[in-house]
Structure 1
Amino acid sequence: MPDCRPPLAEPSVPHRRLPEGACDAHCHVFGPADRFPYAQGRAYTPPDAPYEMLSALHGRVGLTRAVIVQANCHGHDHAALLEAVARGQGRYRGVALLPPQADAALIRTLHEGGVRGARFNFVPHLGAPPPPDVFERIVSSIAALGWHVCLHVDGATIDALLPRLARLPVPFVVDHMGRIRARDGLDAPAFRSLLGLARVPGAWVKVSGMDRIGDGKRPFRESLPFVRALVEALPERTLWGTDWPHPNVAGEMPDDGELVDAFFEACPDQALRRQVLVENPARLYGF
């Protein structure tokens, strides 16, 4: 049985129109479980949220491209992700969750299926971090294909990881604004470290997960200053995403139409919005 809530059945339609080619750079597909079973030993069991639901959500809010990120609940079986990317007919890309023993043949197969990055988890409640030798071997394996590393971290781990990240031979993307806490303020050490990525070549940040850094109450306005600061600090290396279908949300379920409107408020400059929503993901993911 699912142990997390489903996304809103009817999210609002945004008041503002997204530019053509706007990309949801962080979303997921789950199941359907009768075709794509969830992994044994998973940290959570979501309700099904398959390609059809994701595509409908994107049509409703005006997104034409997306990056589907493999989540813990599907483990290392990428069948659901690969099917969704294929059905997107060039509009979708994927980010994989590679097993420790991943070899060149597996990585090539995923690449041919539209995958362009490998995700690593450093958030303790979702499992142990990858051993350093595994991390370095996989990074070396994906470098030749032009992939990047996608990092799920929390604020407490960013500083400790930075020396390793700065030496990577591939770009790296920090998910969900590093899961910093808005209540700690813009001058908190974890957020200053995140802003400091502007000085690190190859570092990118996703301004996704507004609900995860805020107080859990829609429309998560306390997160807007952090989105604004990151977009201004890394204008050519920031991505935006919904995090649909919002697994393991502790507070109110986000409304994806509201999330679109919130980004317009946090980033009022039209050219900069287009940079983040269209040009940056096109460059990183090869749209």
Structure 2
Amino acid sequence: MTKPCLAPLDHITPLTFQVPERACDSHAHIFGPYSAYALSDDRSYTPPENALERYLAHLQRIGFTRGVLVTASACGTDNRSILDALAEQPDRLRGVAVTTDDVDRDTLIRWRKAGITGLRFNLYAIDGMAVYRNGVGLDTLERLAPVMRDLGLHAQIWVHAPDLVQLAPRLLRLNITLVIDHMGRMNASRGVQDPGFQQLLRMLKDGDAWTKISGADRNTNRYGHYDDTDEFARQIVAANPEQVVWGSDWPHINYYEPVQVPDDGVLLNTLARWLPDEKSREQVLVFNPARLYHFESR
């Protein structure tokens, strides 16, 4: 039995900038109610229930209109809660699902019509060891890539940036839209000259990938301020501002110490440093996610 995670904070620090209309939180999870959507028995963490209504309250609290729900590893390949959320909020929400390679084309077509715009693949490992259970890996992605390409589904890649040096050739051969999670989920202490982070920047510059300037709380060594992640985010935006989105990663699972649980207001206020003008914030929070997640096409 895994240790229960702490709940997200129920308050936020006031924002230092005006959130643009139609802003999108491009990475979040929902859990439960567990009477209807049970967690996977084989999981790495146990989050508290935070179902759709709490996520919608989170969006209201931060002043956002839209959101992208990602099936979390604790849910395995059970995407029902997200599919039901999309049915309830078809104009406001999109989804990223997790599935095995035996999924049939008709199912993917149905999901695509429901608002699933991508599939997530867990390549996140440290020193060759998988960090989370229930990951669907690169072999599955390679088998699913042709149908994903046909249906316009992107591949959301959860990967440790240092591994991109080795993995990039296989990923780029797939010829599908790639979205790298959490700035490469790399600790800030490695520095922006890390070869894997530089590989991510090249992929962005060449238009071969998108990334999420999310996960400052995951990559930092300075909880509560996150300024050691600033240069990473700034270089990402400079590399290709048209292929960058931001996500809260609410409800901030897998935290067990109160000092580590993020304040969503503080997380959002990093954008005042990373995107210091209204036009750049609108690009990352509104126009880019509308294009990547097909909000305007429904």
CA distances 1:260-281 after superposition (whole Å, capped 9, x unpaired): 1111221102212111111111
5 Å-filtered alignment, 1:266-281, equals: 266-281=274-289
CA distances 1:217-268 after superposition (whole Å, capped 9, x unpaired): 1021211221111111110101111000111136611111111111122110
What corresponds to 2:132 in structure 1?
126
User: Per the alignment, do residues 113 and 163 of structure 1 end up closer, same or farther by CA in structure 2, a change over 3 Å counting?
Assistant: same
What corresponds to 2:181 in structure 1?
175
What corresponds to 2:155 in structure 1?
149
> 1:56 Cα shift?
0.5
Q: Distance in 2 between matches of 1:246 and 1:200?
A: 32
Q: Specify the code of the residue in structure 1 equivalent to 2:270.
A: A
**Which residue of 175, 186, 195 corresponds with 2:192?**
186
Is the counterpart of residue 218 in structure 1 residue 219 in structure 2?
no
Is the counterpart of residue 262 in structure 1 residue 270 in structure 2?
yes
CA distances 1:13-45 after superposition (whole Å, capped 9, x unpaired): 423221001111111111111111111212221
TM-score (norm 1): 0.94
TM-score (norm 2): 0.91
Q: Specify the code of the residue in structure 2 equivalent to 1:281.
A: P
Q: How many residues align?
A: 287
What corresponds to 2:127 in structure 1?
none
Question: Secondary structure of 2:276's match?
Answer: coil
What corresponds to 1:283 in structure 2?
291
- Paired residues of 2:73 and 2:133 also in contact (CA < 8 A): no
> 1:199 Cα shift?
3.6
- Paired residues of 1:148 and 1:171 also in contact (CA < 8 A): yes
User: Per the alignment, do residues 69 and 131 of structure 1 end up closer, same or farther by CA in structure 2, a change over 3 Å counting?
Assistant: closer
Q: Distance in 1 between matches of 2:137 and 2:284?
A: 33
Question: How well do the aligned residues superpose, as a CA RMSD in angstroms?
Answer: 1.7
Q: Distance in 2 between matches of 1:186 and 1:169?
A: 27
Gap regions ≥5 residues in structure 2 = 125-129
Q: Specify the code of the residue in structure 2 equivalent to 1:263.
A: L
Is the counterpart of residue 52 in structure 1 residue 53 in structure 2?
yes
User: Per the alignment, do residues 115 and 45 of structure 1 end up closer, same or farther by CA in structure 2, a change over 3 Å counting?
Assistant: same
The percent of aligned pairs where both chains have the same amino acid is 37
Question: Secondary structure of 1:126's match?
Answer: coil
**Which residue of 201, 205, 214 corresponds with 1:208?**
214
CA distances 1:103-140 after superposition (whole Å, capped 9, x unpaired): 11221221122100000001111137656542222111
> Which piece of structure 1 moves more, 125-134 or 164-173?
125-134
Question: Secondary structure of 1:6's match?
Answer: coil
Gap regions ≥5 residues in structure 1 = none
Q: Distance in 1 between matches of 2:222 and 2:194?
A: 19
Q: Distance in 1 between matches of 2:98 and 2:137?
A: 14
- Paired residues of 1:172 and 1:202 also in contact (CA < 8 A): yes
- Paired residues of 2:39 and 2:75 also in contact (CA < 8 A): yes
User: Per the alignment, do residues 29 and 128 of structure 1 end up closer, same or farther by CA in structure 2, a change over 3 Å counting?
Assistant: closer
Q: Distance in 1 between matches of 2:222 and 2:255?
A: 8
5 Å-filtered alignment, 1:244-259, equals: 244-249=250-255, 252-259=260-267
- Paired residues of 1:212 and 1:249 also in contact (CA < 8 A): no
